[in-house]
């Protein structure tokens, strides 16, 4: 109901028809379609859901976490296309055939919950997050207004507030996004809007050459964001790093002065807490000093390393993060909240996030609703439909408590220390450097190269 326009806009779907019992005498026909007849067999659908859930429990939850099972039954793309029935046809398939397809999908998929899955920066199974995901898939909410998603908006608010506390801010703002790359893009755009608010309405014309600075070891999403936002990848300055992969503050300040000398307009520094390859943490305090001297927005990409904030033992890795203007943090990584679960946190509490992204859609964000419309947070997002990603992290946090999440971080880093010690003991393994975080970088030296002197020929062969 739009209270200002005083009319009702209804978008019908299959749910309008499933309750209706078909009656030949009172059938409502439009364009040859019986509107008051069921479109699906509800009983068959319910049975299919029940049997599919049993299959998921047996083949994913129980089997996929068994160390004796395979991580993946690998097949090359062309072979896998033949094994899977990928064709969509004019007529539907039977429930029995659909369950067979489900079985095939599970069989040939990578089991990221498996104890031997080490491929990316996430792994393992959190049962509480999984249940939360089942619930949200069944409820199918969209988190933009309180009236359509009351519980999940309150959950998101509570989770963001708690994450803001761990960063060390007294207050702030934030929103969950579909991935750390998107959070970094949000932050870049927000920093630009803060620097030149007119850009939202007037666009790029007439702006000076905007330039930003980030580590040479940063995530590739920085280049993507600069390209997507029209800043241009040539205006991303990659600052030199030291031998451990940390941004060198002196090099950053040199580049800032050089950019000003060339007539460019520096507006943003993106530091990294937990680089993708080396697991390096940039020196945030020193970088923050430079940002304050030059009036630059400081964004910290803590997508990977942010979870260390939960540990009293390891949070020192992010010393100085409270001085950042914005932070990206992905609980779906070390905290195992399930993909995807990614927050952008902003120190500003003046509504900057909403000012930057709002479009004030009158059919959705009416200001005269029957509740406090400040809970309609959807206008802070570039999305309209948005998943309740905070809910799975909330469920995990409720189940384990802050101490349980801290133990999860401490255990991960203790396992890393154990692996380092084992690598040092074993012939044929060469540690690249002592790790700062959970990233263990090493070489495996095959027997044929172990007696060979390290030089160009050795490294060429080892690379091969």
pLDDT of residue 40: 81
User: Encoding tokens for residue 449?
Assistant: 């190269």
Residues of the chain with pLDDT under 50: 1-6, 17-20, 22
Q: Helix 249-261 crosses helix 284-294 at what angle (to 10 degrees)?
A: 20
CA 230 to chain centre: 23
pLDDT of residue 65: 78
pLDDT of residue 64: 72
Q: In angstroms, rounded to a whole number, what is the distance separating the alpha carbons of residues 269 and 187?
A: 11
Q: What is the DSSP letter of 247?
A: B
238-261 pLDDT tens trace: 999 999 999 999 999 999 999 999
pLDDT of residue 1: 38
Q: Which residues contact 196 (CB under 8 A, 6 or more apart)?
A: 207
Three-state DSSP at 429 gives strand
Q: In angstroms, rounded to a whole number, what is the distance separating the alpha carbons of residues 380 and 28?
A: 43
* Residue located via tokens 């800043």: 231
Classify residue 129 as exposed, middle or buried by CB count within 10 Å of its CB (0-12, 13-18, 19+). buried
pLDDT of residue 463: 92
pLDDT of residue 97: 96
Q: Helix 127-139 crosses helix 390-425 at what angle (to 10 degrees)?
A: 150
Q: What is the DSSP letter of 175?
A: E
pLDDT of residue 41: 86
Q: Which residues contact 247 (CB under 8 A, 6 or more apart)?
A: 214, 215, 216, 217, 239, 240, 241, 271, 272, 282, 283, 287
Q: Residue 251: which region, alpha, beta or left (left: phi > 0; alpha: psi -120 to 50)?
A: alpha
Three-state DSSP at 172 gives coil
Contact 328, 167 (CB under 8 A): no
pLDDT of residue 8: 60
* pTM, rounded to two decimals: 0.92
pLDDT of residue 363: 85
């Amino acid at each position: 109901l739009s209270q200002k326009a005083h009319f009702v806009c209804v978008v019908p779907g299959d749910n309008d028809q499933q309750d209706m019992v078909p009656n030949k005498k009172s059938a409502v026909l439009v364009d040859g379609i019986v509107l008051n007849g069921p479109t699906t067999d509800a009983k068959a659908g319910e049975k299919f859901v029940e049997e599919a859930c049993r299959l998921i429990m047996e083949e994913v939850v129980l089997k996929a976490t068994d160390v004796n099972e395979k991580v993946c039954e690998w097949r090359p793309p062309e072979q896998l296309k033949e094994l899977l029935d990928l064709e969509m046809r004019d007529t539907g398939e039977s429930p029995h055939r659909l369950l067979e397809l489900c079985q095939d999908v599970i069989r040939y998929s990578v089991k990221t919950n498996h104890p031997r899955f080490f491929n990316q920066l996430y792994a393992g199974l959190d049962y509480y997050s999984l249940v939360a995901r089942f619930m949200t898939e069944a409820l199918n909410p969209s988190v933009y207004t309180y009236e359509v998603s009351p519980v999940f908006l309150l959950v998101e608010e509570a989770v963001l507030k708690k994450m803001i506390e761990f960063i060390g801010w007294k207050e702030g703002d934030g929103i969950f996004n579909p991935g750390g790359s998107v959070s970094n893009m949000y932050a870049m755009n927000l920093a630009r809007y803060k620097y030149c608010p007119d850009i939202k309405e007037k666009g790029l014309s007439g702006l000076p050459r905007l330039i930003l600075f980030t580590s040479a070891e940063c995530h590739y999403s920085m280049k993507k964001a600069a390209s997507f936002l029209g800043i241009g990848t040539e205006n991303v300055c990659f600052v030199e790093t030291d031998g451990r992969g940390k941004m060198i503050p002196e090099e950053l300040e040199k580049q800032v002065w050089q950019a000003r000398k060339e007539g460019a307009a520096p507006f943003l520094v993106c530091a990294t807490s937990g680089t993708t390859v080396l697991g390096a943490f940039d020196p945030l305090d020193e970088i923050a000093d430079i940002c304050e001297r030059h009036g630059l927005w400081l964004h910290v990409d803590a997508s990977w390393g942010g979870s260390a904030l939960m540990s009293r033992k390891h949070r020192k890795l992010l010393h100085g993060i409270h001085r950042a203007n914005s932070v990206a943090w992905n609980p779906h990584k070390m905290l195992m909240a399930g993909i995807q679960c990614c927050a952008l946190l902003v120190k500003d509490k003046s509504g900057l996030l909403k000012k930057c992204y709002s479009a004030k859609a009158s059919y959705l964000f009416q200001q005269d609703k029957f509740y406090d419309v400040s809970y309609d947070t959807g206008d802070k997002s570039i999305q309209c439909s948005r998943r309740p990603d905070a809910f799975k992290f909330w469920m995990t946090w409720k189940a384990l408590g802050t101490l349980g999440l801290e133990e999860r971080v401490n255990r991960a880093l203790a396992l890393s220390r154990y692996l380092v010690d084992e690598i040092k003991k074993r012939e044929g393994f060469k540690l690249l450097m002592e790790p700062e975080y959970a990233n263990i970088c090493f070489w495996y030296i095959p027997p044929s190269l172990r007696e060979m002197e390290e030089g160009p020929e050795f490294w060429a062969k080892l690379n091969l």
